[in-house]
Amino acid sequence: MARLLVTGGSGFIGKRLVDRLRESHEVVAPNSTEMDLTSSGALESFPSVDRVFHLGARTFVPASWSTPRAFVEANLLSTMAVLEYCRRTSTPATIVSAYTYGNIEALPIGEDQPCKPSNPYALSKHLGEIAAEFYARAYGLPLCIIRPFNIYGPGQDDRFLVPGIIRQVLDGREVVVDALAPRRDYVYVDDLVDALVLSYSRSPIGLTVLNIASGHSLSVGDVIAVVQHAAGTNLPVFTRDISRPHELADVVGDPSRAQQVLGWRPATSIEEGMSRCLKFERANFGSDSDS
């Protein structure tokens, strides 16, 4: 039985990863009050483990525009703390990054495309990647960098698009979004967890960078249509015609390297994933009339 460390283990993705890993391994997943990864002594005296899964980070792109320095400090310093621990203990790690490519016109996007972060959150994760790549080269650390595209699933913060749409559908009046046209590559959260687990058993020695993507995109309007079909509704849809700073028109990831290296493929269709999200929101936030 391996002993594994998961940072960010109480988060949206982290708690699912912890539950999955605990089916066959010993997992240590300190919460943020027990471990401040931005402090200079973070992980200094932490006992040895067989692998680190680094998920701890500040997230949510719109908030990063207001406090870019705080995002960079939190996400870069926490990654540096993990890398230093791995260097001292010769421990391999899976580093969960983000979509860091920026505005790429040639789709689908492969891992060898240059990264040009389009928001401060992506910048903070890209800087962590640069540090990880240096540690892999300079110290020979086995590191797997995972770049998830748009992750969704039950229990996601309602500031994000999918739960926000579902809450409005359950409210039964109308659906209002900033814009209908932007397209994104959506991956169900449990499929990402599958990839993270596989990164422990199947990633090669050295540095590996992998997209976790579905290979196709949906517009905001498409997502609303899928949710309404699952809910059996036909509510009016309105847009505020608001564009976020540096909005990307279309994002499609190329998952072929993850398929080759890990044997990973997304297993959950968008229809099934949205149905699961709808069921969760109904159970936890819907009214009696929604059942």
Residue 259's nearest CA partner among 97, 104, 107, 110 is 110
Determine the Cα–Cα distance for residues 107 and 104; give it in Å rounded to an integer: 7
Q: Report the C-alpha dihedral over residues 18, 19, 23, 29, rounded to 10 degrees.
A: 30
pLDDT at 43 over 80: yes
pLDDT at 220: 98
Rounded mean pLDDT, 248-252: 96
Mean residue pLDDT of the chain comes to 94
Rounded mean pLDDT, 216-229: 98
Rounded mean pLDDT, 164-181: 97
Rounded mean pLDDT, 64-81: 96
- Kindly state the tokens that stand for 136: 């892999």
Rounded mean pLDDT, 256-268: 97
pLDDT digits (tens, 9 = 90+) for 87-130: 999 999 999 999 999 999 899 999 999 999 999 999 999 999 99
Q: Can you tell me whether residue 196 is helix, strand or coil? A: helix
Which residues, at least 6 apart from 33, have a Cβ–Cβ distance to it below 8 Å? none
Instruction: Locate the domains of the chain by residue range.
Output: 3-152+188-216+252-267
Phi, psi dihedrals of residue 150, rounded to the nearest 5°:
-80, 105
Task: Return the amino acid letter for 68.
Answer: P
Strand partners, 54: 7, 95
Determine the Cα–Cα distance for residues 267 and 250; give it in Å rounded to an integer: 22
- Kindly state the tokens that stand for 98: 């983000």
More confident: 194 or 205: 194
Determine the Cα–Cα distance for residues 245 and 265; give it in Å rounded to an integer: 32
Say if CB 156 and CB 205 are below 8 A apart: no
Q: Can you tell me whether residue 23 is helix, strand or coil? A: coil
pLDDT at 96: 98
pLDDT at 231: 97
Which residues, at least 6 apart from 211, have a Cβ–Cβ distance to it below 8 Å? 109, 110, 111, 147, 149, 253, 254, 255, 257, 258
- The C-alpha angle with vertex 217 and arms to 112 and 285, in degrees rounded to 5, equals 120
Q: What CA–CA distances, in Å, run from 41 to 29, 34, 129, 139, 177? A: 18, 13, 21, 20, 44
C-alpha 222: how far from chain center: 21
Superfamily of domain 3-152+188-216+252-267: NAD(P)-binding Rossmann-like Domain (3.40.50.720)
pLDDT at 285: 78
pLDDT at 291: 35
Task: Return the amino acid letter for 288.
Answer: D
Rounded mean pLDDT, 237-255: 93
Say if CB 35 and CB 82 are below 8 A apart: no
Phi, psi dihedrals of residue 177, rounded to the nearest 5°:
-130, 165
